[in-house]
Amino acid sequence: MKNNNFKYVQKIILLLFFSTKFAFAAPDQIQVVDDNKEAPGEISINWHNNYNLSGRSKPSYAGEQAPNHMYRLTPEVNYGLTNTLESGFSLLTSRNANGDYDVDGFKARLEYIAPHSDQGIYYGLNFETGLQSLSVAPFSKNAELKMILGWNVDNWHIAVNLNTDGSFNSSSPDPTEDFDIKVNYQITKETQIGIESYNQLGTYNKPFQNFSSNSKAIYAVIDTNVAGHDLNFGIGHASNNPDDHWVAKFILNTKF
């Protein structure tokens, strides 16, 4: 039954990727990371899908694909190494407004979640690095360190990420800081509703200097289970960001 469900999911995603005229420029993964991770020896794939409903229609640098009406599909393979460690590998792909599709790079990551109970506070770290095409990023060699903090209490599920993003390119600017938060309320055994907020703070040495004018995005989200697969779906709006006025996203997790 699981194999049939997996084949059905694959067909849906491939149909979206090759049969639509979507395109994208929002990040390849729009997600607040919490304490969900694979058990030792377990494998899954997160299918990150982001579609730019409305955004900037002209490139901001030579070689960039403008974000308006762009779609990005990022399959991410997750493997549980230990009770506290998980590894991941992502393949970045996109389809622009003209219907052209491309492979935009790859990322590898290592995540640590400290031992904790189902209720209460938890914490962890995630380090990710990879190469990206200049069509989706102005600098090709990028890395991110993500601090993870969460709190599960009764039906409430809260997760906070503080991200430091930078590039290994010699001409790249200073690393930047982002603050992301997710607040969910569990309405049934399988379903949660909530909000996700993504906020640019600024450079690491002056994190709040231009906070009022930095990009901020808020998503209304639902987390549920479909045919045995975890699904996160959201619609978001960004302020102070001409790239991504409105974005639709969904993440589908398929287990093996």
**pLDDT value of position 26:** 52
Pair 45, 73: CB distance under 8 Å = no
Give me the residue spans of the domains in the chain: 2-255
pTM over 0.85: no
159 by Cβ neighbours in 10 Å (0-12 / 13-18 / 19+) ranks as: buried
**pLDDT value of position 111:** 98
Q: How far apart are the C-alpha atoms of 145 and 162, rounded to whole Å?
A: 8
Q: How far apart are the C-alpha atoms of 243 and 147, rounded to whole Å?
A: 26
Query: What's the CATH number for 2-255?
Result: 2.40.160.40
Q: How far apart are the C-alpha atoms of 218 and 240, rounded to whole Å?
A: 12
**pLDDT value of position 22:** 33
With helix as H, strand as E and coil as C, how does 86-121 read? EEEEEEEEEECCCCCEEEEEEEEEEEEECCCCCCEE
Nearest to 27 by CA among 60, 61, 70: 70
**pLDDT value of position 208:** 66
Identify any residues that bridge with 194 across adjacent strands, giving them in sequence order: 184, 221
Low-confidence residues of the chain, pLDDT below 70? Answer: 1-26, 205, 207-213, 241-243
Pair 229, 206: CB distance under 8 Å = no
**pLDDT value of position 97:** 83
| Number of residues in the chain | 256
Residue 175, C-beta contacts closer than 8 angstroms, at least 6 positions apart? 164, 165, 166, 203, 204
**pLDDT value of position 14:** 47
Q: How far apart are the C-alpha atoms of 255 and 99, rounded to whole Å?
A: 30
Pair 249, 231: CB distance under 8 Å = no
**pLDDT value of position 61:** 78
| One-letter identity of residue 10 | Q
**pLDDT value of position 201:** 87
